[in-house]
Amino acid sequence: MGAVTTAPALPEGIRAATADDVPDILRLIRELAEYERDPDAVVNTEEKLRTWLFGPDAVAEALLAEYDGRVVGVALWYRSYSTWTGVPGVYLEDLFVEEEHRGRGFGKAFFRALAAIVVARGYERLEWVVLDWNTPSIEFYERLGGRPMKGWSTYRLVGEDLRALAE
């Protein structure tokens, strides 16, 4: 990832993930998949997480929420780039807080930390997607000032379709 010129202070209870946190990160990714009603979709492994989050060619970063010494939430993100503005941004891939720890401010703390990272690095946007049925998250994001990108639809090319196109 790009060099950090300024490391902003993180909100209380939020910290940067380390390679030692990989088992907890994978556990929370699996819990997120359960919440999003697609538990069998996770094929990620601890080895892959170590490679892509902490290896020499890392492409993503993670923040963790801790409560009573236990990891209870994760925000996993990576740098994006806008050709229109010519400036990088942050794409939030996953945000998850265990159900019993929701309402304690971890979600807002994650967004405050990410916003501080975006600003400190001179980036200009923070983006993410949300499932259209996830009303509690949508309401939370809108309370923070997040707005849906009207007129845009997310597309994805994977699996056999991706491989066929690559031939």
* 3-state helix, strand and coil shares in percent for the chain, rounded to the nearest 5: 40, 20, 40
Clarify whether 141 is annotated catalytic.
Answer: yes
Distances from the Cα of 38 to the Cα of 4, 31, 34, angstroms? 35, 10, 6
Distances from the Cα of 113 to the Cα of 23, 62, 119, 120, angstroms? 22, 11, 10, 10
Task: Tell me what pLDDT residue 4 has.
Answer: 46
Q: Label residue 91 exposed, middle or buried (CB < 10 Å: 0-12, 13-18, 19+).
A: middle
The encoded tokens of residue 144 equal 């923070």
- Within a domain: residue 8? no
Q: Which domain holds residue 142?
A: 14-166
Task: Tell me what pLDDT residue 6 has.
Answer: 57
- Within a domain: residue 1? no
The residues, ordered by sequence, that sit 6+ positions from 128 with a Cβ below 8 Å of its Cβ are 91, 92, 93, 95, 141, 146
- Within a domain: residue 141? yes
Q: Label residue 14 exposed, middle or buried (CB < 10 Å: 0-12, 13-18, 19+).
A: buried
- Within a domain: residue 9? no
- pLDDT per residue, tens digit, the chain (167 aa), is 544 455 788 989 999 999 999 999 999 999 999 999 999 999 999 999 999 999 999 999 999 999 999 999 999 999 999 999 999 999 999 999 999 999 999 999 999 999 999 999 999 999 999 999 999 999 999 999 999 999 998 898 999 999 999 99
- Within a domain: residue 5? no
Domain count, the chain: 1
- Within a domain: residue 6? no
Residue closest to 10 by CA, chosen among 140, 141, 146, 111: 111
Averaged pLDDT score across all residues of the chain? 94
Task: Tell me what pLDDT residue 3 has.
Answer: 46
Q: Is the pTM of this model over 0.75?
A: yes
Strands 87-97 and 126-127: parallel
- Within a domain: residue 39? yes
Task: Tell me what pLDDT residue 8 has.
Answer: 85
Q: In CATH, what number is assigned to the domain containing residue 141?
A: 3.40.630.30
- Within a domain: residue 2? no
Query: From the candidates 78, 123, 141, 155, which is the catalytic residue?
Result: 141
Q: What angle do CA 113, 117, 118 make, to 5 degrees?
A: 120
Task: Tell me what pLDDT residue 153 has.
Answer: 85
